[in-house]
Structure 1
Amino acid sequence: MQGRLKSLWQSVAAFWAGIIAEFRAPERIWPRALDEAETLASVLLAILFAHLLQAENVGWAAFSGYMVMRSSLAESTVRGGMRILGTVSGAALACAVALLLGHSWLALSVALFLVGGVTLYAALTRQRSYAWLFTGLTFCMVLLDAQAQPLRHVAHFASTRILEVTAGTLACLVINLLSHQTLRPRLGLPNAMPAMSSAAKAQERGDAARHAMQAGLALATVPWLMPLLDSGRLSQAAVTIMALMMVPLSSLRGNRHLVSVRVAHRLAGCITGCLAATVALKLFGGSVSAIILCMALGVVAGRHIENSMKPFAYAGNQFVLVFLVVLVPDSYAMISAEPGLERVAGVFAGIVVLQMIRLLSRPLLHIPPR
């Protein structure tokens, strides 16, 4: 027991030491600085577009502006298109399924198991994995929301989610295009499209099927938390399960601890982002300009960590997403730390469910301990 605690402490210390080192002596400083500036500009423009389009969840548009941005214009375009396609497909499928299911928890569990598991399997084994992932994510979010809302509200929620993703994607592409016409050529930075992943081999498909089965079982468990969690936290739990299980195929045999590492980094990033945003609200909550400045600094800091290409890069991504949840409200008159706390609670619930299912299902699925 003492040895495990010592190992845990060493891992935590190494994690924070690595992050601090990224700010003290960063590598590839100029390419990273430009990407961070592009990403911040994309987030700010996404917020503007969302307000102009009267989107109901401005923060989701900001997420998309952040997540779609890549150094390659071609990659950003493909990534943005896949995000929109996946969102539209998942929302449409969820609305159709909601009509058939009604409010049956058992039917909801079966639908989440089937669609969540199949889309994750496709995301792991097929090209255009980002579209498959977002089909599953959006399906889970919209279908879980349908349990707490009349169907007409669910359709409205689905349509506004599509609008927000589109606003963020367009903002990203505008900034990316401007940068590739001005700054990047002058700085001599590349604009290369990475190679597409190859098709999965037979053995990898078997590993992916077992992995997706675990995710599907975890998703099927989420509806049974309804007495404890509201629809927002349930949706976040489902998103957490799918996001954590989206790992490289090679890791299913080569690095069996990767999901557990992603769990730790997601939790660390979310908690740190929520704490930082809450402190910013306490200090500057009365000043919109100060809140926007804090948001900008948080985006740059999180992107800097994400660009490190180190094992802890995922924590930077999660830090930013929670930071944006809190500091990009639909109205600054209603700004609150509550959305960040809701996200952390949903993430924690998703982690608990996923880890329990992974532990219990290993003997049934013949998965070696990780």
Structure 2
Amino acid sequence: MTLAGTLAQLCRTAVFGLGRELAAWKASRARATFAAQAMLSVALSVALANSLGLSDTWWAAISGFAVMQTSFAGSVQRAAHRIIGTVTGAALGAIAGPWIGDRPWVFVPALGAIGAVAVYRANGSKATYAWVLGGVTALMVTYEAHKFASFRATALFATLRVAEVAVGTFACLLVASVFHFGPKWYRRNRTPTDATAARVAGESAGLPGAAESTPPLESARSTRMLLCLQAALSITTLASLTYVLHLPGFAQAMVTAIAVLVVPPGLTADRTRQPVMEKMVQRVAGCLLAGTIGVALLPLMQGQAILCMLALSIGVWAGCHVQTGRQGASYVGRQFTIAFIMVFVQDHHWSSDPMPALMRLSGILTGIVVLAAVMFVTSRLYMPPMPQDASR
């Protein structure tokens, strides 16, 4: 099938899957519980970030959502990976960024190398999420360093980024702990029947789409090298365009380029195109849907905190419902939720101005376009297995 044919098929699959999910709007107890946890985690993240006066409240809110998993153990593991990756990436960017920020011939290739290493390691590590967050944070801080041209300002930016992630992660773990230990305490004091306990356990197990999948095993080296090359070319192109043209939303463009290049384990290099394109299509669909609805609602909210928080909570709930569905639109739901948070949670205050959100969403679309172009150029490139792979 041609590239255009594959793209058209994936678009139809995403649209029809989303339509079936919305038509079958029936929340089970497990799905409703996960949506409630995510909604409360985002709301608490926003409240804490605002009370602390953090500059990028939306990043704390995204952390509060992204860390939440259907199991408490999964949330704890994801929280650890997010903190470790963010701290490591922030430290790398704060140290290296000011040294190379004013040297584009070093700065641009360095960003490409950071993204390439992050994608290569993320596709062959059990700590995939830590590598993704480490790479993304290092890219963000390093890029900002070229604008600050100061070690102190760069270090402050890196510290604020770590603080925002820490606040969102703390909020998520607090909410997850209440939902995890609360029922246990209740059942211990209420002493339910074995049938009731079995029913509760059955409902909380097997929820699709929300929990982090089994950590990937070591992928074929040829597959990782191809994805690594695509990441390097995409981020180098984005960095060059942004350095010269000052394109908006560079941070989200970089996040997109890395996130969609993390594929399920076990794929050969010539079979990575479809899963990457599927994530690209569903990411665009979720972001466009959230952007359209969110920007339409912003003027109605008039910057009122209660109304904005209510709309945000409803959007998070709806996105989580789609994310945990079984109709093939799970990634649409996740991207819808993240984009909806970007629209309503703006820096350190509530606002009806859609421009900050549109700038971030434009960065996501820019990242998709550049990555699609890189994939088209490298579509016929196949790296054969290394001798040690062929002998296995």
Structure-1-length-normalised TM-score: 0.89
**Do 1:36 and 1:303's aligned partners in 2 also have CA atoms closer than 8 Å?**
yes
| Equivalent-residue separation in structure 1 for 2:101 and 2:306 (angstroms) | 45
Alignment-mate amino acid for residue 246 of structure 1: V
Task: Tell me by how many angstroms 1:24 deviates.
Answer: 3.1
Q: 2:276 aligns with which of 259, 266, 269?
A: 259
Alignment of 1:199-214 (within 5 A): 199-200=217-218, 204-214=220-230
Is 1:225 the equivalent of 2:224?
A: no
| Equivalent-residue separation in structure 2 for 1:327 and 1:206 (angstroms) | 41
Unaligned runs of 5+ in 1: none
**Do 1:105 and 1:223's aligned partners in 2 also have CA atoms closer than 8 Å?**
no
Match of residue 159 from structure 2: 159
SS in 1 for 2:217: coil
**Do 1:59 and 1:329's aligned partners in 2 also have CA atoms closer than 8 Å?**
yes
| Equivalent-residue separation in structure 2 for 1:285 and 1:302 (angstroms) | 23
Match of residue 81 from structure 1: 80
**Do 2:303 and 2:351's aligned partners in 1 also have CA atoms closer than 8 Å?**
no
Match of residue 329 from structure 1: 346
SS in 1 for 2:260: helix
| Equivalent-residue separation in structure 2 for 1:263 and 1:43 (angstroms) | 25
Is 1:282 the equivalent of 2:282?
A: no
| Equivalent-residue separation in structure 1 for 2:170 and 2:69 (angstroms) | 13
**Do 1:329 and 1:335's aligned partners in 2 also have CA atoms closer than 8 Å?**
no
Q: Which moved more, 1:353-362 or 1:272-281?
A: 353-362
Alignment-mate amino acid for residue 346 of structure 1: G
Alpha-carbon distance change, 135 to 333 in structure 1, aligned in 2, over 3 angstroms? closer
Is 1:339 the equivalent of 2:356?
A: yes
Q: 1:197 aligns with which of 215, 225, 228?
A: 215
**Do 1:108 and 1:220's aligned partners in 2 also have CA atoms closer than 8 Å?**
no
Match of residue 170 from structure 2: 170
Cα offsets for 1:267-305 (capped at 9, x unmatched): 111111111111111222253322211111100011111
Is 1:62 the equivalent of 2:26?
A: no
| Equivalent-residue separation in structure 2 for 1:129 and 1:356 (angstroms) | 25
Task: Tell me by how many angstroms 1:336 deviates.
Answer: 1.8
Task: Tell me by how many angstroms 1:212 deviates.
Answer: 1.1
Task: Tell me by how many angstroms 1:147 deviates.
Answer: 2.0
| Equivalent-residue separation in structure 2 for 1:26 and 1:107 (angstroms) | 52
**Do 1:109 and 1:220's aligned partners in 2 also have CA atoms closer than 8 Å?**
yes
Match of residue 30 from structure 1: 29
Q: 1:315 aligns with which of 327, 332, 343?
A: 332
Alpha-carbon distance change, 235 to 200 in structure 1, aligned in 2, over 3 angstroms? same
SS in 1 for 2:339: helix
Match of residue 19 from structure 1: 18
| Equivalent-residue separation in structure 2 for 1:84 and 1:229 (angstroms) | 30
SS in 1 for 2:249: helix
Cα offsets for 1:309-367 (capped at 9, x unmatched): 44321111111112111211234454421122112211121112112222223445548
Task: Tell me by how many angstroms 1:236 deviates.
Answer: 1.7
| Equivalent-residue separation in structure 1 for 2:316 and 2:323 (angstroms) | 10
SS in 2 for 1:277: helix
SS in 1 for 2:147: coil
| Equivalent-residue separation in structure 2 for 1:347 and 1:158 (angstroms) | 22
Unaligned runs of 5+ in 2: 188-196, 385-392
| Equivalent-residue separation in structure 2 for 1:284 and 1:198 (angstroms) | 43
SS in 2 for 1:257: helix
Task: Tell me by how many angstroms 1:14 deviates.
Answer: 4.8
Q: Which moved more, 1:296-305 or 1:108-117?
A: 108-117
Alpha-carbon distance change, 165 to 6 in structure 1, aligned in 2, over 3 angstroms? closer
Alpha-carbon distance change, 242 to 5 in structure 1, aligned in 2, over 3 angstroms? closer
Match of residue 121 from structure 1: 120
Match of residue 94 from structure 1: 93
Match of residue 134 from structure 2: 135
Task: Tell me by how many angstroms 1:73 deviates.
Answer: 1.1
| Equivalent-residue separation in structure 2 for 1:195 and 1:281 (angstroms) | 35
Alignment-mate amino acid for residue 282 of structure 1: P
Alignment-mate amino acid for residue 126 of structure 2: Q
What percentage of residue pairs aligned between the two structures are identical? 30
Is 1:182 the equivalent of 2:218?
A: no
Alignment-mate amino acid for residue 311 of structure 1: G
Cα offsets for 1:110-133 (capped at 9, x unmatched): 212222111211111011111111
Match of residue 241 from structure 1: 257
| Equivalent-residue separation in structure 2 for 1:206 and 1:60 (angstroms) | 34
Structure-2-length-normalised TM-score: 0.84
Is 1:108 the equivalent of 2:124?
A: no
Match of residue 144 from structure 1: 143
| Equivalent-residue separation in structure 2 for 1:97 and 1:209 (angstroms) | 25
Higher relative contact order (CA 8 A, sep 6+): 2
**Do 2:303 and 2:352's aligned partners in 1 also have CA atoms closer than 8 Å?**
no
| Equivalent-residue separation in structure 2 for 1:12 and 1:116 (angstroms) | 27
Task: Tell me by how many angstroms 1:250 deviates.
Answer: 3.0
| Equivalent-residue separation in structure 2 for 1:352 and 1:341 (angstroms) | 16
